[in-house]
A and B are shown apart, each in its own frame.
Chain A
Amino acid sequence: MVNFLIVSFLLFFIGLWGVVVTRKNLIVILLSLEMILLSINLNFIVFSVFLDDLMGQLFSLFILTVAAAESAVGLAILVVYYRLKGVISIDFISLIKG
């Protein structure tokens, strides 16, 4: 149980770390977000088994769906952005600079 939690914790922070430090590529950020979501899914499933409650697995299914939709939207935005700007490097995405 604890090992599972440690794995999901590590996955979560690796994902978070990926989001924070990535400066090259939007795709990497999307991947990292997927990783965060998956780590949380893992958490849900572990607790679902541990507590013998089906609700957790149900939630993980929902999250998978939402994650799929989110990555689809993210990729769509990415494609459009690439068409417009010609780059997908994070360093150049600063349109909302104050």
Chain B
Amino acid sequence: MYLLALFLPLLGFLVVGGFGFAFGVFGASFISLGCVFLSLVFSLVAFYEVGLNHSVCSVKLGSWFSLGSGNIEWGFLFDTLTVTMMVVVTSISFLVHLYSLNYMSSDPHLVRFLSYLSLFTFFMLMLVTADNYLQLFFGWEGVGLASYLLINFWHTRIQANKAAIKAMLVNRVGDFGLLLAIVLIYYYFKSLDFAVVFSVAPFVKDFSLVLYDFEFNIITFIGIFLFIAAVGKSAQLGLHTWLPDAMEGPTPVSALIHAATMVTAGIFLILRSSPLIEYSSAVLMLLTIIGGLTAFFAATTALTQFDLKKVIAYSTCSQLGYMMFACGLSNYFTSLFHLVNHAFFKALLFLSAGSIIHALSDEQDMRRMGGLVKILPFTYAVMVIGSLALAGFPFLAGFYSKDLVLEVAFATYSLDGLFVYWLGTLSAFFTAFYSTRLIYLAFYSKTNSSKTIMSGAHDAPLEFYIPLTLLSIASIFIGFFLKDMMAGFGTGFWQASFFILPEHYVYAEAEFLSTFLKLVPVIFSLSGMVFAFVLYKTFLFSRKFYYIFLKNKLFRDLYFFSSKKWYFDVVYNQYILKPYMFFGYHITFKIFDRGIFEILGPTGIVRIFKDLAGGVSRFQTGLIYHYIFIMVVSFSLFVFVFIFLRGFNFVIPDVVYVALGVIIFFSAPFLARVRNFFRISEFNK
């Protein structure tokens, strides 16, 4: 049954993707929805059995392939981490499937869309259930593929094409990191099974690798590559550029893949590898710093974006940063707790954004929205719930997880812990700010949309109601329900899913922080909300404010710095992309592929023979006296060779005859070129 939960979405993909035309839209929707729903039910059962009743389960399906001394098997590991992820993936996938039925109903390729969603669900489940790194990599690449297909779903749009290729290429950097990590793990552990690798990890923690006279701890080395993989997939600072662009895909895709599940695969990888990276303080530090910077960077960038979905995308990026630095500070429980909460409220945010976009005839620019609170009351309600949960309003989901992440970060009392604590707290302020800004611009401000669009706007249809309602319930209550189970002090829920070195375990310290310190993130969040609201309500649309704003250079620079996304794309384009494109086109393509390799390779040979054949064929002038001349000349030559040379007892090997023949044959074209010799008349030219 556990495997059924995994393979039902695959079945859904195969049936709907392969034979969708036979079932029609309704049948295909029914099948894919049914498959994912059953998968959700089985995942919940697995969660009950494995998570709540603590019966960890592992399934081996047999050998995949042998590699030297190692044997790679198809195996599935169902521990608490896995089943938690499974529930998150399948529940959001189901809701998104349901949502897409209406959202994509006017699209002629709805069936294909559903099949891709099912494919994604399958690969994501494969990723989380894998019991070895290679199988995880299989799922990892699979979700990348599904992401590519879904971003590029409207493949006639050039922006979608570009975004999809960008996502693929940027992810490739991370994938390469994971591949290198796998190779290194196999090299040192002679196995890729999690069970083997993690139980051996304590014994190899002092091994080192000498590379060009530098000594690296191998766990650090592996951990850095795992970190690169996570950076790529989870859109951390440096490789985050694909995530905002991926918003070109349909909104349900953004909700499922680029908010709730796929982007958390990197975090999942880190969580899964916790017994490994826990032994490397350097990697943990790296995770912490980059995670904190990502949270801060994305939050500041989201402040000035005007695309509704991009704001939420940067918010996702920012929250992933929180999860990442929670991992870096060894708070794996908290990280996963935040992951779960985030999955629900971010899916809610995206789906309600989709509802707005749907209502406004695919308008995404917030400057052209406004005044929707009266037209879309339901969407407004769920959007507010999602935003409050995201901003960490007391007693909603984000309050429990995000503030816990920050709290535990403070409790480490280390430099990097404090660093990310303050970055995270500032980000919480910005998060509240941009959430409020989003709501203000979309719902409260005076409308900037045209009359035709506004009169055609309608609130969420039934297929939207169900997912949005369920997700908002989840966003409100899930933090409260799961806090003690998932991230409570001394919880036994996780069993052996995570490994934390005793000296990294700071929950006790976190429990005894002063209440004021614990409330700091909330205070920042609330003040962010109030600040944003007051700012937008009173100042931002007044002429006077704009005048001040435009006059002040510092203000303007800061604004541009934020709205240009810290100039990451500019720098990448200018200093990485351009040289690479130059190298790729002018050097590898023009000089190597189309140059040397073609001339020495097939094209060159073809060209040589074509020339030779052309010469030979030109040699066939069709004129009798030419043939006779050649006959006479060659005959004389042979007579000379035969009679004169042999007459002097000169032994001629057969090779000479053959060589002579070949020379005459191939010299024919060149002889033919000496046309003047034959004095060809004008008629033959």
Q: Which residues from chain B contact A19 at a C-beta distance below 8 Å?
A: 625, 628
Q: Which residues from chain B contact A98 at a C-beta distance below 8 Å?
A: 616-622
A93 at the interface (CB under 8 A from B): yes
The range of chain B's interface size is 10 to 19
Contact A91 B684 (CB under 8 A): yes
A92 at the interface (CB under 8 A from B): yes
Of the 9-residue stretches A21-29, A40-48, A60-68, which lies at the interface with chain B? A21-29
Contact of A93 among B617, B618, B624, B629 (CB under 8 A): B624
Contact B617 A20 (CB under 8 A): no
Contact A90 B620 (CB under 8 A): no
Cα separation A90 to B629 with both chains bound (whole Å):
14
A96 at the interface (CB under 8 A from B): yes
Cα separation A16 to B639 with both chains bound (whole Å):
16
Contact A22 B625 (CB under 8 A): yes
Contact B623 A90 (CB under 8 A): yes
Cα separation A94 to B620 with both chains bound (whole Å):
9
A85 at the interface (CB under 8 A from B): no
B212 at the interface (CB under 8 A from A): no
Dominant SS among interface residues on chain B = helix
What 1/0 mask marks residues of chain A from 66 to 98 whose CB sits below 8 Å from any chain B CB? Answer: 000000000000000000000000111111111
Q: Which residues from chain A contact B619 at a C-beta distance below 8 Å?
A: 98
Closest chain A residue to B625, Cβ basis: A20
Contact A91 B683 (CB under 8 A): yes
B450 at the interface (CB under 8 A from A): no
Q: Which residues from chain B contact A91 at a C-beta distance below 8 Å?
A: 623, 681, 683-684
- The count of chain A contact residues (Cβ–Cβ below 8 Å) is 16
Q: Which of A1-56 contact B (CB under 8 A)?
A: 16, 19-23, 29
Cα separation A90 to B625 with both chains bound (whole Å):
8
Closest chain B residue to A26, Cβ basis: B624
Nearest CB of chain A from residue B633's CB, rounded to whole Å: 10
B632 at the interface (CB under 8 A from A): yes
Q: Which residues from chain B contact A90 at a C-beta distance below 8 Å?
A: 623-625
Cα separation A94 to B625 with both chains bound (whole Å):
10
* Known contacts A94-B684, A98-B616; is-contact A20 B622 (Cβ 8 Å): no
The CB with the most chain A CB atoms within 10 A, among B616, B623, B624, B684, is that of B624
* Known contacts A19-B628, A20-B632, A23-B681; is-contact A94 B623 (Cβ 8 Å): yes
Contact A94 B622 (CB under 8 A): yes
Nearest CB of chain B from residue A95's CB, rounded to whole Å: 6
Cα separation A35 to B255 with both chains bound (whole Å):
99
Nearest CB of chain B from residue A96's CB, rounded to whole Å: 5
What 1/0 mask marks residues of chain B from 599 to 640 whose CB sits below 8 Å from any chain A CB? Answer: 000000000000000001111111111001100100000000
Q: Which residues from chain B contact A22 at a C-beta distance below 8 Å?
A: 625
Cα separation A21 to B629 with both chains bound (whole Å):
9
What 1/0 mask marks residues of chain B from 523 to 565 whose CB sits below 8 Å from any chain A CB? Answer: 0000000000000000000000000000000000000000000
Nearest CB of chain A from residue B631's CB, rounded to whole Å: 9
Nearest CB of chain B from residue A53's CB, rounded to whole Å: 22
Nearest CB of chain A from residue B602's CB, rounded to whole Å: 25
Nearest CB of chain A from residue B197's CB, rounded to whole Å: 70
Q: Which residues from chain B contact A94 at a C-beta distance below 8 Å?
A: 621-623, 684
Contact of A92 among B618, B620, B683 (CB under 8 A): B683
Nearest CB of chain B from residue A79's CB, rounded to whole Å: 17
Q: Which residues from chain B contact A23 at a C-beta distance below 8 Å?
A: 625, 681
Cα separation A39 to B401 with both chains bound (whole Å):
115
Contact A96 B620 (CB under 8 A): yes
What 1/0 mask marks residues of chain B from 456 to 485 whose CB sits below 8 Å from any chain A CB? Answer: 000000000000000000000000000000
Report 14 cross-chain contacts, Cβ distance below 8 Å, ordered by A residue: A16-B632, A20-B625, A20-B632, A21-B625, A29-B624, A90-B624, A90-B625, A93-B624, A96-B622, A97-B621, A98-B616, A98-B617, A98-B618, A98-B622
Query: B residues engaging A (CB < 8 A)?
Result: 616-625, 628-629, 632, 681, 683-684
Query: A residues engaging B (CB < 8 A)?
Result: 16, 19-23, 29, 90-98
Q: Given A16-B632, A96-B622, A98-B618, output 13 extra A-B contacts at Cβ < 8 Å.
A: A19-B628, A20-B625, A20-B632, A23-B625, A23-B681, A90-B625, A91-B683, A91-B684, A93-B622, A93-B624, A94-B621, A96-B620, A98-B619
The 9 nearest A-B residue pairs measured at CB? A98-B620, A97-B622, A94-B622, A98-B617, A96-B622, A91-B681, A19-B628, A20-B629, A91-B683
